[in-house]
Amino acid sequence: MVKEWNLNRIINLNPFSLNGTSYNLWLEFTQAVTHGKPYVSVEIELDENEYMEQSGYETEFGDVAIIVEYYLESTLLSSRISLLQTKKETRPDQAAISLNQLYLMQFWPSVKFGGHNFKFNNVAPEDFSFYHFILCQSKPPFCSSSICSSPLVYAKLGLTKSTLVNQLKSWNLQRKTSGRKTHSPSLTLNKLLPGAVDSLNIWKKHSWDMIPKPFSRFLQEAAYLFIGTQNEEIRRLTELRVPNILLLRVEASRERYRG
């Protein structure tokens, strides 16, 4: 994906007029270099008066980030970022979901990284938090991967916040008492192919973010700013941690692009 992103650095689009002024329009594709690799520390949100000696754990913070920025005469008009956690199918139309990663991607609790504390206020995971499934087992002819929002994954697994937190607390207690590395709990997710809809009792109707989509459709929605968050803390941590940041810059100017 990263290699294909870098194939066409500049794409010129048709010019347009605004208030009698003619503007050239183009797309710039770039890849940002980040530190990557190190895990982030996640704090499990405990009930009031509840205490655990070890209430946190480490996990990945996204594999890929998509940033889309719109400029007019070099002035930033809007910017949105989406995070992707990539998973490969374990069997056709199935994938394993680690619950420690899902807790972060669904609830966005406090995170520590590089000596800094990050708090994500008023973020909507359906806007920017996604799983990217590589369909290496089912190999459908119409796409090679699919995108599911973290709320869709969370709902399809039949979880509640309390059951998810309890599993993570039990896992942390087991790690402490055993004194050795213990794999985080995981569940199997079914129906990854684009367009697959479950009869989820908790959802009276299926909104667009509750349906698996092909990766190409996800990129279109990101390009038009239909998805993504403007949260500054998400962006700041992404620039420190996510190893692959793909940036799409949409710019309009009275001058032509001079690369």
Q: Is the pLDDT of residue 23 over 50?
A: yes
Give 6's contacts (C-beta < 8 A, 6+ positions apart).
29, 31
Read off the pLDDT of residues 45-54 as tens digits, 9 standing for 90 and up.
877 666 556 6
Predicted pLDDT at 67: 96
Predicted pLDDT at 60: 87
Higher pLDDT, residue 209 or 60: 60
Q: Which amino acid is at 8?
A: N
Q: What is the mean pLDDT of the chain?
A: 87
Q: How confident is the model at residue 156 (pLDDT cuts 50, 70, 90)?
A: very high
Q: Is the pLDDT of residue 6 over 70?
A: no
Read off the pLDDT of residues 61-105 as tens digits, 9 standing for 90 and up.
889 999 999 999 989 999 999 999 999 999 999 999 999 999 999
Predicted pLDDT at 197: 61
Q: Is the pLDDT of residue 17 over 50?
A: yes
Read off the pLDDT of residues 24-35 as tens digits, 9 standing for 90 and up.
999 998 887 666
Predicted pLDDT at 181: 76
Q: Is the pLDDT of residue 200 over 70?
A: no
Higher pLDDT, residue 52 or 153: 153
Q: Give the strand pairing for 129-134 and 75-88.
A: parallel
